[in-house]
Amino acid sequence: MGNAISTCNVGYFYHSGIGVKKDEHKALIYYQKAAEMGDFAETDNAAGIISVGHCYQHGIGVEKDDHMAFISYRRSVEMGNAVAICFVGYCYQHGVEVEKDEHKAFIYYQNVAEIGNGEGILKVAEGYRSGIGITRDLNKAKYWYQRDIKMFGKGGFATVYHARWNHKREYVYRSVTLKLLNKSNNYHEEFIRELKAYCDIGLNDPTFLKCFGISKDNVSKDYILVMEYAHYGNLRQNLHTIAQLDWKDKLNLLQCIASDLLIIHSHDLIHRDLHSGNILQDNLKSAYIADLGFSIAALKSKSNGIYGILRYIAPEVLKKTNIY
């Protein structure tokens, strides 16, 4: 007999090479089997149907075929799958396998935008901004763009948001971090220092945390750094999980941190605020050093000021003594 969800999971294992040799064609076969299992609740085989569509869309285990992808995704639309709805919207917007209908595409995007789907939100915002499939309305465009921005951190020096960047040159939606530097409109020295540090390092060391550019808040006029997004947050948040990792993975994590620190020092910079909250993770087995706002050139480090978070500052620094 078999179960649709379990069958789809087997396909995923072959697709990703988890516990078995990677075989994309065999993965497609299992996805197709899961999609055809209709004797369970109708949502049980949704994962199989959407996976088949994904394989045909991207040519995974089979020759790329937009028509077959459209058929699979259209079935998934009836089950409310957001990825499928966005793809069908794309087909109507660009006339792929159906007659081009930008308004119908907008309706598909709007349906998933209203339940919080990021791609749908951006498509609706772009529709209102450019008048694609709907009457141009800049106020509604602003509303939908802002709806896709979510705050996930706030401190004395900066407020941090998650957003999705429509990279039109690469035709992708990229998750990014927006770091709004508080009061940088009046005191922009820290902003310039951090931006310069990221630019200098990024030119020579592409493995370092990326800074994609800058922006400015329309209300406060404070500056914003557009940064690479770390999907797993910071090391402090993940310490309990990391403690359960194999020791080889822990050593690899330590090597990532040491490597970034070496990169910073190779540019004659001192971080001055290194702690677990400023070590970001895109997955549990890698890490990036972030927050270069307090960094300073080694030759200029004669200042007697005390920097960083109190509980991470060495006692001899607080006591201003050379005794450790």
Residues 144-183: tens digit of each pLDDT: 988 888 888 887 788 999 988 876 665 566 889 999 988 8
The model's confidence at residue 301, banded by pLDDT at 50, 70 and 90, is low
Task: Tell me the per-residue pLDDT of 81-139, one tens digit each, with 9 for 90 and over.
Answer: 787 888 889 889 988 888 999 999 999 999 999 988 888 898 999 999 999 999 999 99
The amino acid occupying position 252 is N
Look at residue 169 in the predicted model and tell me its pLDDT.
Answer: 60
The 10s digit of each residue's pLDDT in 218-253 is 888 999 999 999 999 999 999 999 999 999 999 999
Is residue 141 located within the same domain as residue 220?
no
Rounded CA gap, 120 and 123, in Å? 5
With cut-offs at 50, 70 and 90, classify the pLDDT of residue 38: low
Considering its fold, how many domains does the chain have in total? 3
What single string gives the DSSP state of each residue in 18-71?
SSS---HHHHHHHHHHHHT--SS-TTTTHHHHHHHHHHHHHTSSS---HHHHHH
Domain shared by 157 and 33, yes or no:
no
Domain boundary, last residue among 228, 244, 267: 228
Q: Tell me, what's the pLDDT at 129?
A: 92
Q: Any idea what the CATH number is for the domain that residue 57 is in? A: 1.25.40.10
Cα 131-132-133 angle, rounded to 5 deg? 110
Residue 3, phi then psi, degrees to nearest 5:
-120, 135
Provide the pLDDT confidence category of residue 10 given band limits of 50, 70 and 90.
very high
CATH number, residue 308: 1.10.510.10
Judge contact between 242 and 250, C-beta under 8 A.
Answer: yes
Query: What token pair was written down for 42?
Result: 């109708």
- On whether residue 118 sits in a domain, the answer given is yes
What's the angle, vertex CA 165, arms to CA 164 and CA 171, rounded to 5?
A: 120
Domain region containing 98: 4-147
- Identify the three-state secondary structure at position 223: strand
Between 22 and 312, the more confident residue is 22
In a domain, 323, yes or no: no
- Out of 228, 251, 270, a domain closes at 228
201-207 average pLDDT score: 90
